Amino acid sequence: MTDPIRVLIADDHPLFRDGLTAMLSDGVETELVGAATSGPEAIELAIQTQPDVVVMDLNMPGMNGVEATRRIVADSPHITVLVLTMFDDDDSIFSALRAGARGYLLKGADQEQIRSAIRAAANGEIIFGTELAARVLTYFTAGPTAPAPVFPQLTDREREVLDLVAQGRANPVIATKLGLSQKTVRNHVSNILTKLQVADRAQAIVQARDAGLGLQSRA
Protein backbone atom coordinates (compact mmCIF):
# COMPACT_ATOMS: atom_id res chain seq x y z
CA MET A 1 0.00 0.00 0.00
CA THR A 2 1.40 3.38 -0.99
CA ASP A 3 1.80 6.17 1.52
CA PRO A 4 -1.05 8.70 1.60
CA ILE A 5 -0.55 12.10 -0.01
CA ARG A 6 0.24 14.61 2.73
CA VAL A 7 -1.86 17.73 2.16
CA LEU A 8 -1.83 21.19 3.73
CA ILE A 9 -4.88 23.43 3.23
CA ALA A 10 -4.48 27.22 3.07
CA ASP A 11 -7.87 28.97 2.99
CA ASP A 12 -9.41 31.63 5.21
CA HIS A 13 -13.07 30.75 4.50
CA PRO A 14 -14.24 28.51 7.39
CA LEU A 15 -17.00 26.69 5.51
CA PHE A 16 -14.85 25.89 2.49
CA ARG A 17 -11.86 24.98 4.66
CA ASP A 18 -14.02 22.70 6.79
CA GLY A 19 -15.41 21.04 3.68
CA LEU A 20 -11.92 20.37 2.35
CA THR A 21 -10.82 19.12 5.75
CA ALA A 22 -13.68 16.63 5.87
CA MET A 23 -13.04 15.47 2.31
CA LEU A 24 -9.30 14.96 2.80
CA SER A 25 -9.74 13.28 6.18
CA ASP A 26 -12.32 10.86 4.82
CA GLY A 27 -10.18 8.83 2.41
CA VAL A 28 -7.11 6.63 2.56
CA GLU A 29 -5.36 8.45 -0.31
CA THR A 30 -4.72 11.65 1.60
CA GLU A 31 -3.48 12.70 5.02
CA LEU A 32 -4.31 16.19 6.21
CA VAL A 33 -1.25 17.67 7.92
CA GLY A 34 -2.59 21.13 8.66
CA ALA A 35 -4.94 23.97 7.79
CA ALA A 36 -3.77 27.57 7.51
CA THR A 37 -6.00 30.64 7.53
CA SER A 38 -3.48 33.22 6.27
CA GLY A 39 -0.51 33.51 3.96
CA PRO A 40 2.12 33.71 6.72
CA GLU A 41 0.58 30.72 8.52
CA ALA A 42 0.62 28.73 5.28
CA ILE A 43 4.35 29.37 4.90
CA GLU A 44 5.04 28.45 8.54
CA LEU A 45 3.02 25.23 8.40
CA ALA A 46 4.53 24.24 5.05
CA ILE A 47 8.02 24.55 6.52
CA GLN A 48 7.03 22.63 9.65
CA THR A 49 5.01 19.80 8.09
CA GLN A 50 6.66 19.47 4.64
CA PRO A 51 3.48 18.33 2.84
CA ASP A 52 3.42 16.80 -0.62
CA VAL A 53 0.75 19.24 -1.79
CA VAL A 54 -0.46 22.62 -0.54
CA VAL A 55 -4.03 23.46 -1.62
CA MET A 56 -3.77 27.24 -1.76
CA ASP A 57 -6.41 29.96 -1.91
CA LEU A 58 -5.27 33.28 -3.40
CA ASN A 59 -7.23 35.78 -1.32
CA MET A 60 -6.04 35.48 2.28
CA PRO A 61 -5.22 37.94 5.06
CA GLY A 62 -1.66 38.84 5.93
CA MET A 63 -0.25 37.80 2.56
CA ASN A 64 -1.93 36.71 -0.66
CA GLY A 65 -1.65 33.18 -1.99
CA VAL A 66 0.63 34.17 -4.86
CA GLU A 67 3.34 35.50 -2.54
CA ALA A 68 2.83 32.61 -0.12
CA THR A 69 3.26 30.20 -3.04
CA ARG A 70 6.46 31.94 -4.14
CA ARG A 71 7.99 31.68 -0.67
CA ILE A 72 6.95 28.07 -0.08
CA VAL A 73 8.36 26.93 -3.42
CA ALA A 74 11.56 28.92 -2.89
CA ASP A 75 12.10 27.35 0.52
CA SER A 76 10.92 23.81 -0.37
CA PRO A 77 10.94 23.21 -4.14
CA HIS A 78 9.70 19.64 -3.65
CA ILE A 79 6.36 20.89 -2.30
CA THR A 80 3.70 21.17 -4.99
CA VAL A 81 1.23 24.04 -4.76
CA LEU A 82 -2.26 23.54 -6.20
CA VAL A 83 -4.26 26.76 -6.32
CA LEU A 84 -7.96 26.41 -5.51
CA THR A 85 -9.67 29.77 -5.76
CA MET A 86 -12.64 31.71 -7.07
CA PHE A 87 -10.48 34.01 -9.21
CA ASP A 88 -10.44 33.12 -12.91
CA ASP A 89 -8.84 36.27 -14.39
CA ASP A 90 -5.64 35.96 -16.40
CA ASP A 91 -3.59 38.07 -13.98
CA SER A 92 -4.39 35.73 -11.07
CA ILE A 93 -3.77 32.58 -13.10
CA PHE A 94 -0.45 33.57 -14.59
CA SER A 95 0.81 35.30 -11.45
CA ALA A 96 0.25 32.04 -9.57
CA LEU A 97 2.04 30.03 -12.26
CA ARG A 98 4.98 32.41 -12.29
CA ALA A 99 5.15 32.09 -8.51
CA GLY A 100 5.58 28.33 -8.86
CA ALA A 101 2.07 26.86 -8.63
CA ARG A 102 1.73 23.66 -10.66
CA GLY A 103 -2.04 23.54 -10.78
CA TYR A 104 -5.02 25.87 -10.80
CA LEU A 105 -8.64 24.96 -10.05
CA LEU A 106 -11.71 27.08 -9.46
CA LYS A 107 -13.82 26.59 -6.35
CA GLY A 108 -16.70 25.36 -8.47
CA ALA A 109 -14.82 22.07 -8.94
CA ASP A 110 -16.50 19.03 -7.40
CA GLN A 111 -14.87 16.75 -4.85
CA GLU A 112 -13.71 14.17 -7.39
CA GLN A 113 -12.08 16.88 -9.52
CA ILE A 114 -10.25 18.18 -6.45
CA ARG A 115 -9.14 14.68 -5.41
CA SER A 116 -7.95 13.97 -8.95
CA ALA A 117 -6.05 17.28 -9.10
CA ILE A 118 -4.32 16.54 -5.78
CA ARG A 119 -3.28 13.10 -7.03
CA ALA A 120 -1.98 14.59 -10.28
CA ALA A 121 -0.10 17.36 -8.45
CA ALA A 122 1.49 14.83 -6.08
CA ASN A 123 2.66 12.86 -9.13
CA GLY A 124 4.36 15.91 -10.58
CA GLU A 125 1.74 16.69 -13.20
CA ILE A 126 0.59 20.18 -14.10
CA ILE A 127 -3.17 20.36 -13.74
CA PHE A 128 -5.81 22.93 -14.70
CA GLY A 129 -9.56 22.94 -14.48
CA THR A 130 -11.32 22.21 -17.76
CA GLU A 131 -12.52 25.81 -18.06
CA LEU A 132 -8.96 27.13 -17.74
CA ALA A 133 -6.94 24.59 -19.73
CA ALA A 134 -7.73 26.02 -23.18
CA ARG A 135 -6.85 29.55 -22.05
CA VAL A 136 -3.54 28.46 -20.56
CA LEU A 137 -2.68 26.39 -23.64
CA THR A 138 -3.39 29.36 -25.91
CA TYR A 139 -1.19 31.59 -23.77
CA PHE A 140 1.81 29.28 -23.88
CA THR A 141 1.49 28.24 -27.54
CA ALA A 142 0.92 31.71 -28.97
CA GLY A 143 3.71 33.03 -31.16
CA PRO A 144 6.22 35.41 -29.62
CA THR A 145 5.14 39.00 -29.39
CA ALA A 146 7.15 41.59 -31.26
CA PRO A 147 9.82 43.17 -29.07
CA ALA A 148 9.18 46.73 -28.00
CA PRO A 149 11.10 49.23 -30.16
CA VAL A 150 14.06 51.02 -28.65
CA PHE A 151 13.25 54.59 -27.63
CA PRO A 152 9.46 54.15 -27.83
CA GLN A 153 9.04 57.89 -27.26
CA LEU A 154 10.40 58.49 -30.78
CA THR A 155 8.42 58.22 -33.99
CA ASP A 156 9.50 55.67 -36.60
CA ARG A 157 11.03 58.46 -38.70
CA GLU A 158 12.88 59.93 -35.72
CA ARG A 159 14.25 56.47 -34.97
CA GLU A 160 15.49 56.20 -38.56
CA VAL A 161 17.19 59.59 -38.26
CA LEU A 162 18.74 58.66 -34.92
CA ASP A 163 20.08 55.41 -36.38
CA LEU A 164 21.84 57.38 -39.13
CA VAL A 165 23.09 59.98 -36.66
CA ALA A 166 24.56 57.12 -34.60
CA GLN A 167 26.32 55.90 -37.75
CA GLY A 168 28.08 59.26 -37.87
CA ARG A 169 26.12 60.59 -40.85
CA ALA A 170 25.85 64.37 -41.27
CA ASN A 171 22.49 66.04 -41.82
CA PRO A 172 22.93 66.53 -45.61
CA VAL A 173 23.72 62.81 -46.01
CA ILE A 174 20.72 61.85 -43.88
CA ALA A 175 18.48 64.15 -45.91
CA THR A 176 19.61 62.56 -49.19
CA LYS A 177 19.28 59.00 -47.86
CA LEU A 178 15.76 59.51 -46.51
CA GLY A 179 14.54 61.85 -49.27
CA LEU A 180 13.97 64.72 -46.84
CA SER A 181 14.95 68.35 -46.82
CA GLN A 182 17.83 69.38 -44.60
CA LYS A 183 15.46 71.58 -42.60
CA THR A 184 13.22 68.59 -41.90
CA VAL A 185 16.22 66.57 -40.75
CA ARG A 186 17.30 69.41 -38.45
CA ASN A 187 13.79 69.47 -36.97
CA HIS A 188 13.89 65.71 -36.41
CA VAL A 189 17.28 65.93 -34.72
CA SER A 190 16.01 68.73 -32.48
CA ASN A 191 12.98 66.64 -31.49
CA ILE A 192 15.22 63.64 -30.81
CA LEU A 193 17.47 65.64 -28.48
CA THR A 194 14.43 66.92 -26.60
CA LYS A 195 12.79 63.49 -26.26
CA LEU A 196 16.03 61.80 -25.19
CA GLN A 197 16.70 64.67 -22.77
CA VAL A 198 20.25 65.15 -24.00
CA ALA A 199 22.15 68.37 -24.61
CA ASP A 200 23.74 67.65 -27.96
CA ARG A 201 24.23 65.26 -30.85
CA ALA A 202 27.21 63.52 -29.17
CA GLN A 203 25.14 62.52 -26.14
CA ALA A 204 22.37 61.25 -28.42
CA ILE A 205 24.90 59.10 -30.29
CA VAL A 206 26.11 57.54 -27.02
CA GLN A 207 22.55 56.61 -26.01
CA ALA A 208 21.72 55.32 -29.48
CA ARG A 209 24.80 53.11 -29.70
CA ASP A 210 24.20 51.77 -26.18
CA ALA A 211 20.73 50.73 -27.39
CA GLY A 212 22.10 48.97 -30.45
CA LEU A 213 21.48 51.63 -33.10
CA GLY A 214 24.10 52.79 -35.57
CA LEU A 215 25.64 49.34 -35.98
CA GLN A 216 25.87 49.59 -39.76
CA SER A 217 28.87 51.09 -41.49
CA ARG A 218 29.69 54.51 -40.15
CA ALA A 219 31.81 55.45 -43.13
pLDDT tens digits for 203-217?
A: 999 999 888 888 765
Domains observed in the chain = 5-141 (3.40.50.2300), 156-210 (1.10.10.10)
Give the Cα separation of 195 and 168 in Å (integer).
Answer: 20
Q: Which residue has the higher pLDDT, 145 or 48?
A: 48
12-52 pLDDT tens trace: 999 999 999 998 887 778 999 999 999 999 999 999 999 99
| Predicted local confidence at residue 122, as pLDDT | 93
Q: What's the N-to-C CA distance of the chain in angstroms?
A: 77
Contact 188, 160 (CB under 8 A): no
Spell out the SS3 assignment of 86-143: CCCCHHHHHHHHHHCCCEEEECCCCHHHHHHHHHHHHCCCCEECHHHHHHHHHHHHCC
CA distance 34 to 159: 59
Measure the CA–CA gap between 79 and 88, rounded to whole angstroms.
23
Q: Give the model's confidence band at 219: pLDDT under 50 very low, under 70 low, under 90 confident, else very high.
A: very low
Q: Summarize pLDDT for 69-83 with one digit per residue, the tens.
A: 999 999 999 999 999
**Whether 79 contacts 50, CB under 8 Å:** yes
0.85 exceeded by the pTM? Answer: no
Closest among 174, 177, 207 to 188, alpha carbons compared = 174
Q: What is the mean pLDDT of the chain?
A: 88
Q: CA 96 to CA 102: how far, in whole Å?
A: 9
